[in-house]
Structures are given as structure tokens and as C-alpha cells.
Chains A and B, each alone.
Chain A
Amino acid sequence: MVVPAAHPPPPAYEWRLPPGFPVPRVPADNPMTTAKVDLGRRLFYERALSGNGTYACASCHRQELAFTDGRARAAGSTGELHPRSAPSLANVAYGATLTWADPRLTRLEDQARIPMFNEHPVELGLFGREDEVLGRLRSDPDYPGMFAAAFPGGVASSDDAAPPGDPDPVSVANVVRAIACFERTLISGDSPYDHLLYKDDAGALSESAKRGMRLFFSERLHCSRCHVGFTFSGPVAFEGARPIAPTFHNTGLYNLGGDGSYPEDNPGLYGITGRAEDMGRFRAPTLRNIALTAPYMHDGSIATLAEVIEHYARGGRLVSSGPYAGDGRDSQRKSDLVRGFDLDDRGKADLVEFLKSLTDRSFVSDPRIAAPARSGAPAPRGPR
């Protein structure tokens, strides 16, 4: 066995975690380093990382929208529509499972390959074009040096399929490693709500938002039973947490044909397990920065927060006509926790106010996670 030249272990990475946030779990084969984070940031905003050179991760995950795209359904580099909407990447380091409904996807390193190489739908459109893209990166004035600094061991992995002894660190495996490291720094915990909670700033929330907070956490509304903890989301994984079974819920958004079915292109967990009870089950997404990430739900089919609350208050959505007609309230697949509740207009407005208090302005304007300036070229605007 050839032992690669010894390199001193990098100094322990210094997380900048908000109060109440545990240390994210990091795969042993991809420890956090500043060099990888810097490279990953550059790659995240890199349009050369798409087949036709027009698209980057950041095209669908825009910082000012808490790393969503503002669309109901994401559109790829060739204009093809994705069946689902781009979720926020805020605190994605803690996701026990990734994407809307896939229990198998637990590592950001694995997830990042999907938009790169997907064919159905095309996102970045790199399928079959690895060499071309890696060639672009190698001929860039900055990348070879950045890859060398981030991966001083050269050939980095067995899944890389690089020829033995090839010292070139510019590889797909290292691209996804670096991007994953950057994604783990997308941490959002500095909203008015956090100021109330950890800085004892009683004025951070309006009286209306405080009433909404009580409703959100109440046993009557149940919101916090599914949108849990410091991420306001489904299951989280972090350093020291025990392994958990992923959880997905059907909130009664659809009830096609009266048997609880969802539209064919978005059956939720059912699409993976094929089990009838998994129809329409999705992961509870984070509610942090939710005021910035409209439209809502896995398919962007609800335009506003007020309408989301109507949906829960009713105990399921009524689609009165068209191909998706059906009353979600009567769905036999719906979660027991979505039972509906009586709430007057003031209560509904209060709940929206509370959700707005989860917006972290410093996260969406933090220059450390914004598009980096390129050497020799003016700083690009985030790709659109």
C-alpha cells in the first residue's frame, strides 16, 4: 500500500455557532478546514460548474432569499423545471436527511452530486461532462492553487477513480467535499427571536409576535411538534446526538381521487418506499427565514404565509377544481397532528408576525458567505 506523504493535521476548525446551536456532525473523511470552505464558497457561486456555463448552485440557492430561488419550482440551466422548490440551505449542516423526502440522503457530499449530474431534470447539466468541467477549473488562474491548498494530499479518495499516483487534486470528489464544507458554514441563528431567547432583548419581538409565539408552541396548534428546536425543522443530526429515524409527514395538501394521493410527480416518501402510508409525506422544512422563502411547500403551491396558516387551520387544503381537485382535510393519509384549529384573524396575523421574527438579516447579508471576489475581475453579482 502506498502511503501518501504525511501532512500535519489541519488545526481544528473554529465554528462560529450562535447560542443554542450544537457542533454540526462532519464526516470523518471530510473534516472542516478554512481552505476547503473558501474553495467551496467559490465553487458554490461558480458558473463554470454547469454544462452551458450559465448556472451555479447559487442560481437556485440565492443568499438574499436565504438560499432559495423565489420560484414555486426550481428551473435548471436548460430551463427545465424541477418538480420541487429549492429549499433554504440555512442550517443545512444539521439536516438528518436532505431534500424534501429522501431518507437515504444524509451527507451533503452525496447531495451535491445530484444537481451537478442530474439528467431528469437537468439542473447544472454536467452529466458526461466531468472532464470538460474539471478542465475549465484547471485552466483557471486561481483554482489549481486553491485545490492544492485545500487538498494537500493530492489524490483524495478511492471513489475518485483518479489514476493511481495522479497528484492532481482537481477532482469531482474534491469539488463536492469543498462545497459541502462551505454549506456547513451556512448557519443562521441571529433573528429577533434569537435575540429574545439568548440576549434577553424583550423588545426584539412585537407584542403581536409574542402572542404568535405562544400560539406556535401551543398544544392546540402543534406547530412545534414538527418544526422543532433550534432549526424549526424535522430531525436534526449533530455531534453527540444519537442516530434517529428520519420522519416525514403528510399535511393534507392534496387528496386526489379521495384516496389521499398526491400529484404523480410529487408523491413524497412514497416515491422511494412505495408504501401506501408514505403517500404525500415530506420532511418538515426549516421555518427560519421563512418570510424570505415564498412560495411555500414542496411544490411552491402556497403563495403566502397567511395561506399556509389557513391550510393548517382548516386541517388540510381544499382544491376545488382542476386536475388536483380534492379536499386534503378528509385525506386518510394526513398526519394526526394536522387536525385544524379555530383561530381568529388577529391570531392568524400574530402567528405570521412570529414567523417573520425568524428572519435573520445578518445571515442574508453576511459577506463571508456571499459571492467571493475573483482575482483580476470585478466581483460578480450572484448568478441569476
Chain B
Amino acid sequence: MKKVAHSKVVRIALLIGVVFALLPGDLRASGGSPMPRPSGGSSSSGMPAAPPKTPEEQAVDYYNAGLKLRDKALALQKEAAQASNEKDRAKLEKKAQQEFDKAIAQFRKATEKNAMFHEAHSDLGFALRKTGDYPAALQAYDRALSLAPAYTPAVEYRAEAYLGLDRVEDAKQAYMVLFAGDRGRADELLRAMKGWVEERRAAPGSLTPDALQEFSSWVTQREELAGQTPSVSELQQRQW
């Protein structure tokens, strides 16, 4: 029982990996980009010794290290998706998972040094999700969003973690939040939802076929509505 569920989780993780690899690079990451260290502690070149780093500064260092590892892992996954044979693919995917594990360790340290660091919680969630640990990913996203409710990367990726756990109603709610507030993220989530539907068609999870079909038509309808509705940023750029 447990084993079945686990292998399914892994397969989904792989699929999401493939979907991600196909996305343009700037959409792939969870929104985290290297952080400058908090000001105050930096020393100019003439100074003899740098003062010891504050916990916040240490947190930023861990976070930036985590981002590097995450990007490495994503690159490996992309390679895996393009691999010519199954053996290479599995090998690259395994390597990617190892890098995600290392990233998780760094993000964790970042959140230990600075518990209020919402980006670190969010990227921890992202890396956990990529290893298939949806419950832990959800916890990390929840923490990020309790600190910064408007942080849309976490809203989106938490929704993808919901999908991993077949919690479609929660994922739908997240989509509605994003549709009003961040159309780029909303579109990205909708693509992930479509991929998820295909995956569940091939390997059914806890949803009944009827429920899956219902969700699928919901996705189709939202896609139609989104196509009809120019976002504010589209209107900003529009040639009338």
C-alpha cells in the first residue's frame, strides 16, 4: 500500500520535473533569486577584519547557496529529460535528486538562522516538492505564506504540492487567488494542472474518474476565460 503510493509520488515528481524542464527558464525557479546580504555588516577593503556575520546575513548565505544547488538540480533534470536512453535518464535524475537534497539542507539552515525569511521557506518547499515530499513541502509553503501572504510564488507552488496530494479544491482556490493577483503565475499553475490531469489519467490517484473529469473540464473552462481576459500587464503594453 505504502509502496504503491510512494512509487506514484516519485513518478509524479519525475513528470513535474519534465514539465518544468520544458518551461522557459525564468518560469522554472520558484521566484528566488540571489539575495544581497543585509546591509550594515559589509566592510570596505581598507578595514582590517570583517565583523562576524549576523544570523540574518548567515541565513542569506545559506539561501544563496541553496539557490545554486537548486539551479544545478534543475539543469540536471533538464538534461535527464533530453537523455537518449533510459539508463542515462535515471542516472541524471538521481543526481538531480541528490542536488535537491543538498539544496534542502541549505534552505533549512537558512530558515533556522532566520525564521522570518519567507523566500527561504518557500524555496525549501520547492526543493522538498521536487523530491516528492509533498507533506513537508506544504508545511514549508504554509510557513512562507503565513509570513508573507501575498508572496505569489509560494501560492503557486503550494498549489502544485496540493496537486501532488490530489487536493484539487485547494489547488483551484490557489488558482483563483493568482488569477486576480498574478496572471503570469496563474497561467503557470494552469499549465501544471493540465500536466497533472494527463498524469492522473495514466496513473489514477485517489480521485475517482468522474472527479478527475470534472477537474479537467474546470481547467478547460478557466483556460478559456483566461484567454478571453487580457491581464493588466497586457493592457499596459497593448497597441490599441
| A, B co-complexed | yes
Taking the complex as formed, is B1 at the interface, i.e. its CB lies under 8 A from any CB of chain A?
A: no
A200 with B235: in contact, given A19-B180, A234-B240 (CB under 8 Å)? no
B148 interface contact, C-beta 8 A: no
- B227 (CB) vs chain A CBs: closest residue: A217
**B240-A198 in contact (CB<8A):** no
What's the minimum C-beta distance from B146 to chain A, rounded to whole angstroms? 23
User: Does residue A75 face the partner (Cβ distance < 8 Å to B)?
Assistant: no
- Contact of A240 with B236 in the complex, beta carbons under 8 Å: yes
> Contact between B179 and A198 (Cβ–Cβ < 8 Å)?
yes
Chain A nearest CB from B214 CB (Å) reads 11
Contact between B228 and A247, CB atoms less than 8 A apart = no
B142 nearest CB across to chain A (Å): 22
Decide if B179 touches A245 in the complex (CB within 8 Å).
no
Total interface residues on A, CB under 8 Å, equals 28
Closest residue of A by beta carbon distance from B226: A197
> Count of B residues near A, CB < 8 Å?
19
| Most chain B C-beta atoms within 10 Å of own C-beta, residue among A199, A236, A246 | A236
Is the Cβ of B240 less than 8 Å from the Cβ of A200? no
Q: Is the interface of B mostly helix, strand, loop or mixed?
A: helix
Residue of B nearest to A23 (CB): B232
A256 to chain B, nearest CB (A): 28
Interface residue? A381 (CB, 8 A): no
Residue pair A200, B228 in contact (C-beta under 8 Å): no
Residues of A within 8 Å of B239, CB to CB, are 244
Q: Are A198 and B235 in contact (CB under 8 A)?
A: no
**Is B229 an interface position by the 8 A CB rule?**
yes
Q: B202 at interface (Cβ–Cβ under 8 A)?
A: no
Query: When chains A and B are docked, how far (Å) is the Cα of A235 from the Cα of B235?
Result: 9
Residue in contact with B236 in the complex, picked from A199, A242, A245, CB distance below 8 Å: A242
- Nearest-neighbour CB distance to chain A for B219, whole angstroms, equals 12
| Chain A residues, Cβ within 8 Å of B236 | 22, 238, 240-242
Q: How far apart are the CA atoms of A177 and B13 in the complex, in Å?
A: 58
Whether the Cβ atoms of B229 and A200 lie closer than 8 Å is: no
> Are A197 and B225 interface neighbours, CB within 8 A?
yes
Known contacts being A198-B176, A213-B228, A217-B228, is A229 close to B240, with CB within 8 Å?
A: no
Contact B238 A244 (CB under 8 A): yes
- Taking a contact as CB atoms under 8 Å apart, the answer to whether A20 and B228 are in contact is no
Q: What separation, in Å, do the CA atoms of A310 and B220 have in the docked complex?
A: 31
Choose one: B181, B225, B227, B240; the contact of A247 (CB below 8 Å). Answer: B240
The reply to whether B228 and A224 contact each other, CB–CB distance below 8 Å, is: yes
Known: A196-B225, A198-B179. A244 touches B240 (CB 8 A): yes
6 additional A-B pairs beyond A19-B181, A217-B228, beta carbons within 8 Å, are A213-B228, A217-B227, A228-B230, A228-B235, A238-B232, A244-B239
18 pairs, CB–CB < 8 Å, chain A vs chain B: A19-B180, A19-B181, A20-B229, A22-B232, A22-B236, A199-B176, A200-B172, A200-B176, A214-B224, A217-B227, A228-B238, A229-B230, A230-B232, A234-B240, A236-B235, A238-B235, A242-B236, A245-B240
